[in-house]
Structure formats: structure tokens, C-alpha cells
Amino acid sequence: MEKNFAGRDLRGAYFACANLDNADFTKADLRGADFSGAALRGATFDGANCEGAIFTAAVMNGAILEGANLSGAIMRLAHLQGTYMPNAILDGADLIEASLNGANLEFASMVKTNLTFTKLHGARLARAVMVGAVLDAVILDGTFIEAADLTNAILTRLYARGADFSYSRLVGADLSGATLERASFIHSDLAVAKLVGADLDASDFRNARLIFAILDGAKGKVRVNSETKLFGISTEGADIAFLTPDEFESKSESESDSDGEDYDE
């Protein structure tokens, strides 16, 4: 099957279940095209217009989509591991249950994108714009999200152990029920954010802004410093210890020694 489609007008084309591994769609017009179940490993979509295209269950591992327009695209259950998608436009796209482990989405626009149950382990989302995006029950363990805009994003039931949200904007974001152990929010803005019932153990909020944030029922030892803004926060039913870095290290060492003594016995 032909695999060089660079620059072609392929609006509404039907490629469902086709073998298009390593195909070239650079700057092609693919608006409304159907790639359901297609094999697109290593395919190139640089600068392509894929607005409203269908990629349901497509296998796109290692594909290159730099600067591609995927606004409103349907990518449910798509396999996108290791894809290269910096500066891609995914506004309003449907990525429910897609796998984006190890993907590069730096500087991508994902306004109101639906990423429910998506896997983003080890992905890079630095400076991505995700205003109003839905990331319910998403796996973000070890993900880099530095300087991203997650204003009013839905991050409920998020799994983000060790994730780096440094310098990000999470104003009004909902992180209720999120697992944020060892996550970094250094210099991040979480004003009026919801962290109800969140696991914040060993998370780092130095120089962060949590003005009027809701931490009801949250738990864990949290790193803060004199620059952390905690004015007006709600901690009803919470089990949180706000500790300076020195206090945190001291408490951790004390607990470690205690565990060792229990073991010796």
C-alpha cells in the first residue's frame, strides 16, 4: 500500500485497519479522516491537519506529530507510547483510555481535552496548556509537567507519584482523591484548588501558593517554607503536617530510626 501522502488533500479518507506503519502524512489535510484500528507505528504527521479525524484504537507508537492539528480528534484507546507531539493542538480531543506513556507533549495545547483513564507514565508535558482538561483517574507517575497551565482542570483520582508540577498554574483545579506522594509543586499556583482527600505524603510545596485551597480530609507530611502561601486554606478532617525542609528531614530520619529499632527487636 502507498505510504507517501505528504501534502495531500485526504479529507474524509478511509484508512480503517490499514497497515500504514512509517507512512508520511507531513502537512496533509486529514480533516475527518478515519484511521480506526490502523497500524501507524513510526508514521509522520508533522504539521498535518487532523481536525476531527478518528484514531480509535489505532496503534501509533513512536509516531511523530509535531505541530499537528488534532482538535476534536477521536483517539479513544489509541496506542501512543513514545509519540513525539510537541506543539500539537489537541483542543477538545477525546483521548479516553489512550496510552501515552513516554510521549512528548511539551508546549501542546490541550484545552478541554478529555484524558479520562489515560496512561501518561513518564510523559513530558512541560508548558502544555491544559485549561479545563479532564484527567480523571489518569496515571501520571513520574511525569514532567513543569510550567503547565492546568487552570480549572479536573484531576480527580489522579495517580501522580513523583510527578513534577513545578512552576505550574493549577488555579481552581480539582485534585480530590489524587495520589500525589513525592510530587513537586515548587513555585506552583494552587489558589482555590481542591485537594479533598488527597494523599500528599512527602510532596513539596515550597514557594507554592495555596490561598483558599481546600485540603479537607487530605493526609501526609508536606514540605513548605516561609514563601509558601497558606492563607485561608481549609483543612477540616485533614491529617497534614506542614514541615520546613529541615523538619521534614528530621522527622523522616526519626521515623527511619524507629523502624530500625522495631526490626532489631
CA distance 216 to 205: 17
- Alpha carbon distance 158, 198 (integer Å): 9
Location of C-alpha cell 513545578: 166
Per-residue pLDDT of the chain (265 residues; tens, 9 = 90+): 679 999 999 999 999 999 999 999 999 999 999 999 999 999 999 999 999 999 999 999 999 999 999 999 999 999 999 999 999 999 999 999 999 999 999 999 999 999 999 999 999 999 999 999 999 999 999 899 999 999 999 999 999 999 999 999 999 999 999 999 999 999 999 999 999 999 999 999 999 999 999 999 999 999 999 999 999 999 999 999 999 888 877 766 666 555 555 544 4
| Predicted pLDDT of residue 73 | 98
CB 60 within 8 A of CB 40: yes
The model's pTM is 0.91
CA dihedral sign, ordered 138, 142, 144, 149? positive
Strand locations in the chain, DSSP E? 203-204, 219-223, 239-243
Residue keyed to cell 511523530: 64
How many beta carbons lie within 10 A of that of residue 262, not counting itself? 8
